[in-house]
Amino acid sequence: MSKAASALARLFLLPGDMACVAVGLDHDDKQELVRMLVNSLVWIVVGMAVAVAVI
């Protein structure tokens, strides 16, 4: 994977990673579920805000 793609992936996953660190989860299945939930919520809110701002 190129450096740009790797940096973009890290940026996209950052909210979920920060939430897992804040809660203190280790590298297990629960961390993946929490990261997926938090990332989904964050990026849906960001997408809706952008959509409202454009419209």
Please tell me the predicted confidence (pLDDT) of residue 1.
67
Please tell me the predicted confidence (pLDDT) of residue 52.
96
Side-chain half-sphere exposure of 38, counting CA atoms within 13 A: 18
Token pair in block for residue 13: 């996953």
Please tell me the predicted confidence (pLDDT) of residue 14.
92
Domains of the chain: which residue ranges? Answer: 3-54
Please tell me the predicted confidence (pLDDT) of residue 47.
95
pLDDT tens by residue, 1-55: 688 899 998 998 999 999 999 988 877 778 889 999 999 999 999 999 999 999 8
Please tell me the predicted confidence (pLDDT) of residue 26.
79
What residues contact 19, with CB distance under 8 A and at least 6 apart? 34, 35, 38
- The DSSP call for residue 55 is -
Type of residue numbered 43:
W
